[in-house]
Amino acid sequence: MTRFAKFSAAALGITLLAGTAFADGHVNAAVKARQSQMTLYAFNIGQLGAMAKGAVDYDADKASAAAANLAALTALDQSALWPQGSDSDSFMDSNAKPEMWQNFPDVMTKGKALADAAMVMQTAAGGGLDSLRGAIGPLGGACSACHKAYRVPQN
Ligand code: HEC
C-alpha cells in the first residue's frame, strides 16, 4: 500500500510537471504572438506618425500601405492570444495587467475602437497630409487608451 501510494505520487508528479511545461509553452507562444502583433501595430503607425510630424516626406502610397496593414492587423482574430494565466502576475514576460481578464467586454470595446480608427485612417491616409493628420490623433489615442488601462506602465 505504501509502495503503491509512493508510486502514484511519483506518477502524478510527472503528469503535473508535464502539464505545467505544456501550459508554459502554450502561454509563452501566445504572449510572443500578441507582442509581435503589437510590434507590427507600432511599426505601421510609426510610419504614419513620422509623416504626420514631418519627420519624413508625405507619400500617399506608403501612407495607404501602412494604414491598410493596420486595418488588416486589427481584423485578425485574437481570441487565442490571451489565454488565462498569461497576465503579468502569472507570467514574467507579460506586461498585460490581470484586470484585462476581469473586464473582457471593455477590452473588446477598446479593441473595436482601434479597428474603427484604423478604418478611418485607411480612408484618410492616401488623401493628402492634412487628411492623414486628421486621423492620426484618434488612432494613437485608441492605442494609449488600452495601454493606460491594461498594460503595465513602461519606463
Ligand atoms: C485592446 C488593448 C490594446 C490596444 C488597442 C493596443 N494595445 Fe498594445 N498592448 C496591449 C497590452 C495588454 C500589451 C502588453 C502585452 C503583453 O506583454 O502581454 C501591449 C503591448 C504593446 C507593445 C509592446 C510589445 C512587446 O514587444 O512587448 C507595443 C509596442 C504596443 N502594445 C503597441 C501598440 C500600438 C502601436 C497600438 C495601436 C495601433 C496598440 N498597441 C493597441 C494592449 C493593447
**CA 38 / ligand 1 centre spacing (Å):** 5
Question: Cell 510590434 identifies what position?
Answer: 39
Q: How far is 135 from 141, CA to CA, in rounded Å? A: 10
Q: How many CA atoms lie within 13 A of 87 on its CB side?
A: 11
Mutation to probe ligand 1, out of 26, 36, 38 (largest number of atoms < 8 A from CB): 38
Instruction: Give the C-alpha separation, 113 to 111, whole Å.
Output: 5
Distance CA 145, CA 10 (A): 48
pLDDT tens per residue, the chain (155 residues)? 455 555 555 555 545 444 555 567 889 999 999 999 999 999 999 999 999 999 999 999 999 999 999 999 999 999 999 999 999 999 999 999 999 999 999 999 999 999 999 999 999 999 999 999 999 999 999 999 999 999 999 87
pLDDT for the residue numbered 25:
85
The total number of residues shown for the chain amounts to 155
Measured in whole angstroms, the distance separating CA 35 from the mean position of its chain's CA atoms is: 6
Q: Which atom of ligand 1 is nearest to the CA of 111?
A: 1
Q: In ligand 1, which atom is closest to the CA atom of 70?
A: 38
